[in-house]
Amino acid sequence: MSTSNSTTEDERVYAGIFGCIMVIGLPLNAVSLWILLRRHSFKSPNAVFMVNLALSDLIAIISLPMRIYHHATGTPLGIITCLFSVIIFRNNLRSSASFITFISVDRLLAVVYPLRSRHLRTPCNAWKGAALVWGFFLVVNIPEAIGFLKHVQNHTEHNCFQSHYYRSVTRSAIIYLQIVFLVTTLAVNIVCTVMVSWTLYNHLSVSAKVRNKVNVMLIFAINLVIFCTCFLPVPIHVLTKSNTSITPLVCLTVLSCCLDPLMYYFSFDSFWKKKEDVGRKL
């Protein structure tokens, strides 16, 4: 009885955490998206990647009521609802990691190779990269959805928010590939951070052109924190086949939706100014 009561309390705590993330993250990302579209438009690749990141976070936040309902009431979700929620969560993790890495690489090119990268740092190329990310992960969703439906057909009960269920419907190859993908993107972010910090503090000519070096480095710091605390724990937990609950780690992953707007603010010296006043600033 005590174990059951403890489990029920934990579920309510999870419902409260997801609720807080939704209440905070929804307006933050909605306002950030509005500012990015209205004030900065798509005149810089940085803005393009941030718009796509904000869209990914908004989609993830919109799916949170399903998790809140499940944890608050203990009611199992329907097959389609469960599939929808899980696919959105996985796509948010992957797409967020991709767009954050694109933002880091764009900052690297802007600071370290400002002249040689002009032909690469265009809105057109940024949209091509964003389209590639969305298209690739949508294709990956096909075998995942098929595996999910096959598992449901062979089991009368399911709980798609548990780690053992995640493993049962996901091929090991996909889990390993996701780990490799996240570690690779993290490595890219680390390299970008080191190169930009080295350039800013060792090349006076470049450093003088960057108006706010602290903001630039804060962007990279936020990126690394998001990767280490939000993106890596869930796939590592699944890979290690731990029997502990995966829900606290999912809470950390979804928390990235509240941290990403900080990056938007620090990315532009004039975040609130009109787009014609901002131009192509770093």
CA atoms within 13 A on the CB side of 268: 25
Encoded tokens for 15 = 């419902």
Encoded tokens for 222 = 């936020």
pLDDT of residue 152: 64
pTM: 0.86
Encoded tokens for 200 = 């800013």
Encoded tokens for 127 = 């949209």
Encoded tokens for 79 = 């097959």
For the ranges 28-37, 137-146, 164-173, 202-211, the maximum mean pLDDT occurs at: 28-37
For the cut 70, the answer to whether the pLDDT of residue 46 exceeds it is yes
Encoded tokens for 7 = 């489990």
**199 inside domain:** yes
**279 inside domain:** no
Encoded tokens for 219 = 């962007």
Whole-number Å distance between alpha carbons of 96 and 56: 7
pLDDT tens digits for 86-128?
Answer: 889 889 999 999 999 999 999 899 888 888 888 889 999 999 9
**24 inside domain:** yes
Burial 187-214 (b: 16+ CB within 10 A, else e): ebbeebbeebbebbeeeeeeeeebeebe
**280 inside domain:** no
Give the CA angle between residues 48, 43, 45 to the nearest 5°. Answer: 40
**275 inside domain:** no
pLDDT of residue 98: 96
Whole-number Å distance between alpha carbons of 165 and 110: 44
Whole-number Å distance between alpha carbons of 162 and 70: 12
79: amino acid identity, one letter: I
Encoded tokens for 258 = 């509240």
For the cut 60, the answer to whether the pLDDT of residue 3 exceeds it is no
Let me know: does 71 contact 15? Beta carbons within 8 Å.
yes
Domain that holds residue 6: 2-270
Within the chain, residue ranges assigned H as helices are 2-35, 45-62, 64-73, 79-112, 123-154, 163-169, 172-202, 204-209, 213-226, 233-239, 247-267, 275-278
Let me know: does 81 contact 92? Beta carbons within 8 Å.
no
pLDDT of residue 64: 93
| Counted domains in the chain | 1
Give DSSP secondary structure letters for 115-182: TTTTTTS-HHHHHHHHHHHHHHHHHHHHHHHHHHHHHHHH-S---TTSHHHHHHHS-HHHHHHHHHHH
Q: What CATH number corresponds to the domain at position 13? A: 1.20.1070.10
pLDDT band at 42 (very low <50, low <70, confident <90, very high): confident
Whole-number Å distance between alpha carbons of 194 and 59: 32
Encoded tokens for 207 = 């450093």
**70 inside domain:** yes
pLDDT of residue 227: 93
pLDDT tens digits for 220-270?
Answer: 999 999 999 999 888 887 777 667 778 888 899 999 999 998 888 877 654
Average pLDDT of the chain to the nearest whole number: 81
**243 inside domain:** yes
Encoded tokens for 132 = 């590639």
